[in-house]
Amino acid sequence: MLNRKIFQIALIILALVGAFRFFYIPVKIQVDKNNAFFVRVRILHDVNELSISAEKRCNIYDRDSGDLLIRKASIEKHNEVFSESSAIRIGEMVFDSLGVRIVPSQRSELDINGVFYRGSLEILKTEKGFDVINRVELEDYLKGVLPCEVNCLWPFEMLKAQAVASRSFAVFECERRKNENYDVTDDTFSQVYGGHGREKWRTTKAVEVTKNKVLGYRGRVFPAYFHACCGGHTQDIACLWGKHLKPLKGVRCPFCRWTPYFRWQAKISGEEISERLQKYGYPVNNITAIKAGKRDASDRIKYVSIKSHNQWFEIAGEGFRDIIGRKLLKSGNFNVKKYPFFYLFSGYGWGHGVGMCQWGGFSMALRRWKYERILKYYYPDTEIINMKEILLVSQ
Ligand SMILES: [Zn+2]
């Protein structure tokens, strides 16, 4: 009788383990045998040459086969790297390979064009030259991101909120792009990364005290997008990228109202606008009026109406920002006024507006909000979890 019961319990446990394994896989993308999580950051794209030096000797591997090409190569002085017809040249060494991986010994660093990077490096041939990818541990990567994304002198709770948001975004991207050559770029298309050379003590501390903490939503790591300043209301991700995510529906944000990027203005002449539109194939040469069209729930304009040769035509608000330049039109929430020699664009906020408003978070932290509360405000319905414990749902 007892044996039968034990047998039944064992069967139930086996069934549960089986179901669990079927639905979930552990976070193992980019994880090595020491359980460290790696991020592949593309730091240079389609370049034809670069300068590299290593503090200590390096092993050089073929990137695709993993074969060791040279053991303990010396790249001590600044060596030039070139892409040759079917090879990659590093100083005097020539590798008949489409890609090489340079792994420095004992966690020493690599100097690429005068910038120090932790981790290893991949040089991959492309049609126009080669790409350079820094493979770096997630926590080290974040230490090089935070000082580029926020001011290291900001209140510590906001630095912690940024660390969790940046970690969540990076892990999400690693999962999304696991079959591609890299996970993130080092610019604003992902998050800005300056390598070891940009690290600052306070931001490093914020990364360390939030180690492994990410935002989770419905059992998965959440893409915690962020931007500089929302201008009063964060943007619904559906309006911008067509995705529907409940925590990114947009929230009212009175917190960034007094911060430096809340309002902006740009004077642009009609001729300049015509020229830029022509470059994108619009048949305009004499603009006589520009009007901001309908707005979404966050007050960002859906389209811009332009009058040329007595005809009106419309351009999507974000498309118009792309054409004129995102440095000039800092956000999609703006008005237009015509003056004799130019159009005056007056707007609110800076950036795409989705997710956390960094200047809003700064203001909350000054009011003694804890980082958990800041994150909960901008990403409602998410929770802070340990990425080592969360299991990503299998694709
Ligand atoms: Zn805001």
Q: Got the DSSP string for 146-212?
A: HHHHS-TTS-HHHHHHHHHHHHHHHHHHHHHTTTSS-SEESSTTS-----GGG--HHHHHHHHHTTT
- Do 339 and 385 share a domain, yes or no? no
Which amino acid belongs to residue 120? S
Q: Considering the domain boundaries, does residue 95 fall inside one?
A: yes
In this prediction, what percent of the chain has a pLDDT beyond 90?
64
- Do 195 and 246 share a domain, yes or no? yes
Q: Considering the domain boundaries, does residue 1 fall inside one?
A: no
Torsion of CA 101, 104, 107, 109, to 10 degrees: -100
Confidence of residue 9 (pLDDT cuts 50, 70, 90): low
Average confidence (pLDDT) over 227-254: 94
Q: Considering the domain boundaries, does residue 94 fall inside one?
A: yes
- Do 387 and 339 share a domain, yes or no? no
- Do 370 and 246 share a domain, yes or no? yes
Q: Considering the domain boundaries, does residue 88 fall inside one?
A: yes
- Do 125 and 145 share a domain, yes or no? no
CB neighbour list of residue 324: distance below 8 Å, 6 or more residues apart: 268, 273, 276
In DSSP terms, which residues pair with 50 in a beta bridge? 81
- The total of other beta-carbon atoms located within 10 Å of residue 64's CB is 12
Whole-angstrom Cα distance, residue 52 to residue 112?
5
- Do 145 and 248 share a domain, yes or no? yes
Phi, psi for 140 (deg, rounded to 5): -70, -40
- Do 359 and 242 share a domain, yes or no? yes
- Do 123 and 187 share a domain, yes or no? no
Ligand 1 centroid distance, CA of 68 (Å) = 51
Ligand 1 centroid distance, CA of 233 (Å) = 6
Q: Considering the domain boundaries, does residue 153 fall inside one?
A: yes
- Do 244 and 334 share a domain, yes or no? no
Q: Which residues surround ligand 1, an ion (CB under 5 A)?
A: 230, 253, 256, 357, 360
CA dist 330 to 18, 302, 347, Å? 51, 15, 8
In this prediction, what percent of the chain has a pLDDT beyond 70?
90
Ligand 1 centroid distance, CA of 227 (Å) = 9
Ligand 1 centroid distance, CA of 145 (Å) = 21
Confidence of residue 34 (pLDDT cuts 50, 70, 90): low
33-42, 268-277, 347-356: segment of lowest average pLDDT? 33-42
Give the per-residue SS3 of 255-293: CCCCCCCCEEEEEECHHHHHHHHHHCCCCCCCEEEEEEC
Whole-angstrom Cα distance, residue 207 to residue 171?
14
Ligand 1 centroid distance, CA of 159 (Å) = 16
Whole-angstrom Cα distance, residue 204 to residue 249?
31
Q: Which residue has the higher pLDDT, 281 or 24?
A: 281
pLDDT over 80 (residue 22): no
Ligand 1 centroid distance, CA of 100 (Å) = 44
Q: How many domains does the chain have?
A: 3
Ligand 1 centroid distance, CA of 329 (Å) = 17
Query: Last residue of some domain: 137, 152, 175?
Result: 137
Q: Are 375 and 165 in contact (CB under 8 A)?
A: yes
- Do 332 and 381 share a domain, yes or no? no
By residue range, what is the domain housing residue 320?
Answer: 263-348
